Chain A
């Protein structure tokens, strides 16, 4: 199944790419940026544009997402290329940029020996807020992220979920124009994760805070963001509005079969359908709009192909195109 799927997925996937000069209200632009750790290039000649609003930075582990954020923060110096954040050059105006930026790092980060209010207010002061304003903002953002009742507890006693929230609070306290959120739901339980995603969605859509959400979790990006930049192995492989990346519509079916899979997949492809795998034994079959018919005709067509290839259809369920499909196509993960 894997080999057949790999063949399918490596073939004809084309995603809409929006050139830099056609983007409006861009808050971050990277122009041919290469960043290396020693001899290993983590970003390879990357050009990308992040528009205003909520933008997802999507990719598997090791794709270069965190490296990109750290380069934009000025932590890493690119070997070549140019980066702009909020219209300011990263190489020339790092402090001005960071004054308008909030960063929620991926790893567990805090300042030892402080309680939540002190920590967040301290971060506000570091960002230039006067003490009284920083303290007032600290209380406000701690309530906002759901730590109001725990704000006088020492940070070392916080759970993983609470530590994620406090990282968001410290990134928000100085009211940044742009937020970098690096894997913000890492280690959170399902309820906490949902709440965190709601917060991020609220910030991006209701509070008009521009944000870049770096994640390998497609549902997180799909829930919170309007646009997405997809990365793989240090390259940007797709970028644009999520709706466009999902493709031009059509119908999608989840299919699980038993039998000679390679022949079945090849036959589906010959009939104009597209296939890629999701789990171990489930594949997603795309029926393009021009070939799709209502009234169960598509299902019947799949059954007919299965019958011809002598495979048993164990499961067939209608689905909708998701970002996961676009992502899998873009990074070629369907090969796995």
Chain B
């Protein structure tokens, strides 16, 4: 009689009800990404502005002669602007292969043969990218406000700028939602993550270039709605109670961003399937 039966055995344990698979996908995706040292280095690098801003807050709070560099609501808006550069690179690095690699390896049929819906699969992949992007926008943004309060030694700044908490939250989540959906949609279109990365960069740069050309031709910034980065900048300005930087009404910019998200979801709905139907 064998000491241990290595044959197939039936499973008598418990099983979780369907609906939690997205968290399994998200956890595995995040773990897979942070194992890459270069990506981890990029993630750490994205916190350098946070350190710089922290030093600035510290000195402005402790040395009255440095009060001109004290943080204002505009400074926090500026911080998110700086982070958008890192956000661009991390979106490409972490997002390009999220669906493209699964398509290359025919993994979609493995995923979708399990008890999970397509929306769960997309939610899991979305969570991977969104988690990294929030770690470099929302988390440091909120931490900076807290540090500002701590270093200033009073709640005066907090009382005067209480809107910063929701502003940073809404601005960060808006940025992350737009970038993540756009990247996931592009990732679902190809089996090559490299191609997807180039495509994403191309879309961003090309739309900016078109906007730049139209700006020269029209002599104004009314065509900023054509560029997703410009739309984000415009709407975030409004969120931070600043004067919008372009002539396009901010609602138009917001609608353009919403349209981009809707188109992305539509692409994902068509591309994330257990079987690819070519008619």
Contacts and interface: CB of A to CB of B under 8 A. Distances in A.
Interface stretch (B5-13, B43-51, B206-214): B5-13
Contacts of B56: none
Contacts of B11: 129, 133, 137, 174-175
A265 to B, nearest CB: 42
A237 to B, nearest CB: 24
B275 A75 contact: yes
A19 interface: no
Interface string A109-137: 11111000000001101111110010001
Contact of A39 (B111, B113, B114, B279): B279
Interface string B16-34: 1110110011001000100
Interface in B248-279: 273-275, 277-279
A103 B109 contact: yes
Interface stretch (B82-90, B97-105, B167-175): B97-105
B9 A140 contact: yes
- Count class of interface residues, chain A: 35 or more
A186 to B, nearest CB: 13
Nearest to A207: B8
A126 B274 contact: no
A95 interface: yes
Contact of A109 (B6, B8, B25, B106): B106
Contact of A112 (B107, B111, B274, B278): B107
Contact of B117 (A40, A95, A96, A140): A95
A126 B107 contact: no
Nearest to A101: B113
A109 B7 contact: no
B106 A107 contact: yes
A280 interface: no
B25 to A, nearest CB: 7
A130 B23 CA distance: 12
B159 interface: no
A76 B113 contact: no
B28 A122 contact: yes
Interface in A156-206: 170-172, 174-175, 202-203
Nearest to B116: A126
A74 B104 CA distance: 22
Contact of B113 (A98, A144, A203): A98
A129 B104 contact: no
B160 interface: no
A112 B115 contact: no
B110 interface: yes
B217 to A, nearest CB: 44
A111 B110 contact: yes
A109 B32 contact: no
B16 A109 contact: no
A126 B28 CA distance: 11
A148 B6 CA distance: 10
Contacts of A105: 106, 109-110, 113
User: Ordered nearest first, which 4 A-B pairs have the shortest CB separation?
Assistant: A38-B279, A75-B274, A175-B11, A103-B113
Interface of A: 37-40, 70, 73-76, 95-96, 98-99, 101-103, 105, 107-113, 122-123, 125-130, 133, 137, 140-141, 143-144, 148, 170-172, 174-175, 202-203, 207, 209
30 contacts: A95-B18, A95-B115, A98-B113, A101-B113, A103-B110, A107-B109, A111-B105, A112-B107, A113-B32, A113-B101, A123-B110, A125-B21, A125-B24, A126-B21, A126-B25, A126-B111, A126-B114, A128-B20, A129-B13, A130-B13, A130-B14, A140-B6, A140-B8, A143-B6, A144-B7, A170-B110, A175-B10, A207-B8, A207-B10, A209-B8
